[in-house]
């Protein structure tokens, strides 16, 4: 069994709202058990990229799955993504969330020549993720774009990215998302 750590960036508002507790419980009840959780708290308003990077820095297992603190996994999320990784030889696998397909690419094969936005709820080889790291895309006004930069960086390094056309997690579309930008009310994911 290949070990997977779940990396979770968070900030204090997620504790108060109990969203972080819900996210962590979803990790606890996986049918493919996570080896651990690397939780990074943004107590200084450093923002999502820096907090996500700190969570990644704490990962020592061969694989890392990312989970934002306001989202949560279905019980078979890790099992499904790991199975897809094994079946396809992928370095990076993403599924989809329950709810509307507002990005418009559910079920479409990933094309590295025309990459789509995948969100950060992915399973990826830790070494690859650490090579790319998380940094904000300069001059992004609405979000920091570090998840997009992760995808593009993995492509640049020759990673095989596969979309698993299955809905295995819930996206916290509750209006409390934040980018960590100074104009936002919250910091980090």
What CATH number has the domain bearing residue 54?
3.90.550.10
Residue 185 lies in a domain: no
Distances (CA, A) of 130 to 15, 24, 56, 74, 150: 27, 23, 7, 26, 10
Residue 119 lies in a domain: yes
Residue 164 lies in a domain: yes
Residue 41 lies in a domain: yes
Residue 94 lies in a domain: yes
Residue 49 lies in a domain: yes
Residue 189 lies in a domain: no
Question: pLDDT tens, 85-135?
Answer: 999 999 999 999 998 888 888 999 999 999 988 889 999 999 999 999 998
Whether the per-residue pLDDT at 73 is higher than 90: the answer is yes
Mean pLDDT lowest among 17-31, 107-121, 143-157: 143-157
Mean pLDDT for the stretch of residues 180-188 = 41
Say if residues 164 and 93 touch (Cβ distance below 8 Å).
yes
Residue 176 lies in a domain: no
Higher pLDDT, 184 or 104: 104
Per cent of the chain over pLDDT 90 is: 74
Whether the per-residue pLDDT at 184 is higher than 80: the answer is no
Tokens found for residue 36: 């651990």
Mean pLDDT for the stretch of residues 20-47 = 96
Neighbours of 111 (CB within 10 A): 11
Mean pLDDT for the stretch of residues 52-74 = 97
Whether the per-residue pLDDT at 25 is higher than 50: the answer is yes
Q: What is the pTM of this model?
A: 0.90
Count: domains in the chain: 1
Whether the per-residue pLDDT at 71 is higher than 70: the answer is yes
Distance CA 44, CA 187 (A): 8
């Amino acid at each position: 069994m290949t070990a997977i750590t779940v990396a979770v960036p968070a900030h204090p508002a997620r504790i108060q709202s109990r969203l972080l507790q819900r996210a962590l419980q979803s990790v606890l009840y996986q049918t493919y058990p996570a080896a651990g959780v690397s939780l990074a708290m943004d107590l200084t308003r450093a923002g999502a990229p820096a907090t996500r990077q700190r969570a990644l820095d704490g990962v020592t297992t061969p694989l890392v799955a990312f989970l934002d603190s306001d989202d949560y996994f279905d019980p078979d999320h890790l099992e499904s993504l790991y199975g897809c990784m094994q079946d396809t030889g992928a370095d990076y696998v993403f599924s989809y969330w329950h709810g509307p397909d507002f990005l418009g690419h559910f079920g479409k094969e990933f094309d590295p020549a025309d990459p789509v936005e995948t969100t950060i709820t992915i399973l990826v080889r830790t070494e690859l993720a650490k090579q790319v790291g998380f940094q904000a895309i300069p001059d992004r006004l609405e979000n920091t774009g570090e998840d997009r930069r992760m995808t593009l960086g993995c492509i640049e390094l020759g990673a095989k990215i596969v979309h698993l056309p299955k809905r295995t997690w819930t996206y916290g579309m509750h209006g409390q998302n934040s980018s960590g930008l100074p104009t936002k009310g919250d910091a980090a994911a």
